[in-house]
Structure 1
């Protein structure tokens, strides 16, 4: 029976996990640099967890400067079998109020200038991303939230914006016209990179505010966001503890979405044309096929 090693990427408000046993800290260096913070390993309700705060200690790293490639590579190198993102977001729907959790299943990426791929000149790959999250992991996380009486919506489209500024009202209204559900600054290119690393990825987007679309007198206020974020973090920790207990009783098999083998048909550069130095870097995330 295969076992789970769950990597948790903590976003705004979630900077540590409670209740871990056998806790140890690992400093990791990857071919793409140093991750946001040292990894914290431990066991929770019977499974191995690897925790990484996305914004670093003290929330010192802004969205556009998060070392996304180093973060995903570090979690892959640490032996994670699956990745769960936990992040704050704004709501673009009246029926997704602050305090609500959305298990994202789609993305629209509006970020700019971020490194989006491990691959490049010397070894080119095109991974499928039609279904960007692992349906099984997202479903199990939703089940855990419902079991803990956390208000959860299964499925939703996350608009990834550049930041660090919040939206203009015109942007917010445009995204609503597009049919977006929530808006945030950090799930992309994170989800893209997780797919290239063949790691099943799911995202819990925790609503903190209504962005700025509701009326002329209301906009995003950091103080109000922080107040909601605190209660969201408490609920997220309950959800994660319940999820860990469930995973401990669930044999891990390959993702039903074929994520662990997505590189089998994704690398387009023939072996004779591949750059050796690029291949050396790629070993930690694509060694299975290289």
Structure 2
């Protein structure tokens, strides 16, 4: 195990954040080497992948490896700071999601294009920002192109034209913080507000990465319908649906590790 400390020099790296479905068989394929990052927010373990010879690639398991953290227990600031320390120039976030739009498929990868997060807060109730207290180099995140990098989305889509489902008007992700699941009334509300998919994570990762000027894409796959009255194809255990969701995105994630490229951050941090 190595220690990344405050290393930010060197070439831009790639980052991937993975969820619950990826801690077993998939992780064993990545030739992982743990690296400890000490951040102002706490200690985080990143895993460098030996699959890529072109540039450093770091994997972050949001719930820990093995899975130990509920969504409300994730140290989002420490994770974002750790990715900044390794000079992340493109971050691909993965999540299994509930589908609120009955016209969308399940078990089909999709790239998020917008975010619905009415309260910009972390699970502990604090503001979702890397700057909860005054500090040097703080600033406002000004959203110019959107929280999801258009160029990174295009890069990933171009390499997988037949694998990624593209809704005609984009894909809106709803952050519905856990650890409990949502009521039928809540799911109806999110859908009426324009939300199409939701999960208990992802949104804080996207916001904090943007504050640190890290371009982000979010690759999601539905593992169930969360639309009241919409019948899921079959009654199955959650663990089984997560396996199907993982298998639908594995090849895209592996390709990003081997062939992904950093992109230019297109939003702006405004500092006085």
TM range (shorter): 0.7 to 0.9
The equivalent of 1:232 in structure 2 is 245
Which is further off, 98-107 or 232-241? Answer: 232-241
**SS state at 1:206 partner:** strand
Which digits, 9 at most, give the CA deviation of each residue in 1:198-238, with x for residues without a partner? Answer: 100110111111114225x87x97x5332121122123221
Return the alpha-carbon distance in structure 1 between the equivalents of residues 91 and 14 of structure 2. Answer: 6
Q: 1:121 to 1:40 in 2, by over 3 A?
A: closer
Question: Partners of 1:125 and 1:55 in 2: how far apart?
Answer: 29
Confirm or deny that 1:129 pairs with 2:154: no
Q: Choose between structure 1 and 2: higher helix proportion.
A: 1
Q: Distance in 2 between matches of 1:267 and 1:151?
A: 37
Q: 1:114 to 1:139 in 2, by over 3 A?
A: farther
Distance 2:166 2:38 in 1: 37
Partner SS for 1:34: strand
Change in CA separation of 1:67 and 1:165 when aligned onto 2, cut-off 3 Å: same
What is residue 181 of structure 1 aligned with on the other side?
A: 196
Whether the 8 Å CA contact 1:137–1:202 is kept in 2: the answer is yes
Report the 3-state secondary structure (helix = DSSP H, G, I; strand = E; otherwise coil) of the residue aligned with 2:202: coil
TM-score (norm 2): 0.82
Looking at structure 2, the residues matched to 122 and 45 of structure 1 have their Cα atoms a distance apart, in angstroms, of 39
What is the correspondence of 1:150-229 to structure 2 with a 5 Å cutoff?
150-153=163-166, 155-215=170-230, 223-229=236-242
Alignment of 1:70-85 (within 5 A): 70-85=78-93
Q: Could you tell me how far 1:246 is from its partner in structure 2?
A: 3.6
- Supply the distance in 2 between the matched residues of 1:46 and 1:114 (Cα, whole angstroms): 40
- 8 A Cα contact 1:18 1:237, kept in partner: no
Tell me if the contact between 1:24 and 1:40 (Cα under 8 Å) persists in the aligned partners: yes
Q: Sort the Cα spacing of 1:134 and 1:77 in 2 relative to 1 into closer, same or farther, 3 A.
A: same
Match of 1:52, SS? strand
Q: 1:28 aligns with which of 25, 33, 37?
A: 37
Distance, in Å, in 2 between the alignment partners of 1:212 and 1:58 is 31
Structure 2: which 5+ runs fail to align? Answer: 1-9
Instruction: Give the number of the structure whose alpha-carbon radius of gyration is greater.
Output: 1
Give TM-score scaled by structure 1 length: 0.77
CA contact (8 A) 2:101 2:227 kept: no
Higher alpha-carbon deviation: 172-181 or 106-115: 106-115
- In 2, Cα distance between the equivalents of 1:60 and 1:241? 24
Structure with a larger share of its residues in strand: 2
1:50 Cα deviation (Å)? 0.2
**8 Å contact from structure 1 (residues 110, 159) kept in 2:** no
